[in-house]
Structure 1
Amino acid sequence: MNLIKKTAIAFSLFAFVGSTAVLAQTKEPVKTTVKKDAKKVEQKANATAKKMDAKATKDEKAVKTETTKKTDAAKKDVKATKKDITSKANTTKKEVKNTNVAKTSKAGTYNGHKVYVGERGGKYYINSNGNKTYIK
């Protein structure tokens, strides 16, 4: 049994020493290749970052020009609609004034006030408070 134990110890020592020698030989090249690979990856990353920055600035400029065009168009539309609304409001005010004049007419005086005739034929005057007071 001593012989078997001795041979087992010898093989384990040989395997341990041999594997460490192999690892010792491959450690330096692995480190240098890793460093080289890391530098390449870093350079590629920097190049792509620069490209992305250039694209982003182009996209920002395009977006700014599009938004200014859209806002200018919207402002023009708002101005046009405001003009339309004000012109429509002015015409409706004129129509309202014309209809009020046509519906009422003077029919004399009552207690020192001018008497008006309403659209249904009722007679009234405007009192001191500005309200209509109907005459029977």
Structure 2
Amino acid sequence: MKNFILVGLLFLFSISISAQETKVIKDGKKVTKEQVEKNKKEYQKKIKAAKKKASANKNKPNKKEKNTKSNSEEQENLKETAASKAAEKKVKDKVTGKYKGKKVYTGPKGGKYYINKNGNKTYID
């Protein structure tokens, strides 16, 4: 009975030794917890800087726009988010016109769509 308890304690002790807090990244290198925390902080700083930049660009009035827009059109433009603007930049398809004030793109198979306020493609019949 003593041997069984001794083996059990050794097993628990060996598990606690091998359970270190390291992560393996794609390159196969081990990363310590401190390095992970440092990378998280840097990433959060980059996100905050990007948000500040996006809000600064959003608040700037566009001089090319005409001031003859109705209130509903102005509200629709305010609803556009940074996600929709970023999605428009990623689109590699050709611009073929306008629909509801948005650019209409034609995809490689001939489908026509525009980027909605959420940054998603909305197809047109």
TM-score above 0.5, yes or no:
no
- TM-score relative to the length of structure 2: 0.33
**CA radius of gyration, larger in:** 1
- TM-score relative to the length of structure 1: 0.31
More strand per residue: 2
Relative CO higher for 1 or 2, CA cutoff 8 Å, sep ≥ 6? 2
